Amino acid sequence: MTEPVAYDLIDDVPVLCLGYDLALRIGECQLLRRSSFNPDTGDITVIRLKHKGQRNRYILKTSEWCLPILNRWIRYHARGDIIFPMSVSTIRRRFNERARKLNLEGYSFHSLRHSRVTHLAIKDIKERGMVDELKLSKFAGHLRVETTRLYVHLAMEHLTYAR
């Protein structure tokens, strides 16, 4: 198989896309496995960190826009069962390099997580007039729905400001 796209695109875009799409913490990217991923449906088991003694495995679905990016990465670059064979510091460095190129000072990989959860809350409010806080909380891997309410509050502020 030949290399399908340029080096820097292959190197950081898939992990950043999936980090945003599934609202992953940086360490959760390393825990993703091919054996727990369905390349046809996009279902993937995510091990959520920060769960002290709680059940922390969730089956999430990658978005339609992210699935082909992930499938292409796995086809050409995953090693064995590990989807992203890179350290946390490598992922962080690649995010920081990309953020610098885009003049996104002050952003971190964790900003992707915050952005995704807030964007999902905004989408729910626009489409249904409300947010299913329990569903959003489960998606984000929050043990307490109060944590998720911060994102709902941000979403409400965004929509008020945008009008």
Token pair belonging to 5? 């796209």
pLDDT over 90 for what percent of the chain? 42
Q: Which two tokens stand for residue 15?
A: 């992990």
pLDDT at position 150 is 76
Residue 28, SS3 per DSSP: helix
- The gap between the terminal CA atoms of the chain, to the nearest Å, is 50
**CATH top-level class for 7-107?**
mainly alpha
CA distance 108 to 129: 30
Across 149-160, average pLDDT: 68
pLDDT above 70 (res 29):
yes
Does position 151 have pLDDT exceeding 80, yes or no? Answer: no
State pTM to two decimals.
Answer: 0.81
Residue 52 has pLDDT above 80, yes or no: no
Residue ranges of the domains in the chain? 7-107, 110-162
- Asked if pLDDT for residue 8 goes beyond 50, the answer is no
Over pLDDT 70: what percentage of the chain?
82
Residue 61 contacts residue 18 (beta carbons within 8 Å): no
pLDDT band at 53 (very low <50, low <70, confident <90, very high): low
Task: Tell me what the mean pLDDT of segment 113-133 comes to.
Answer: 86
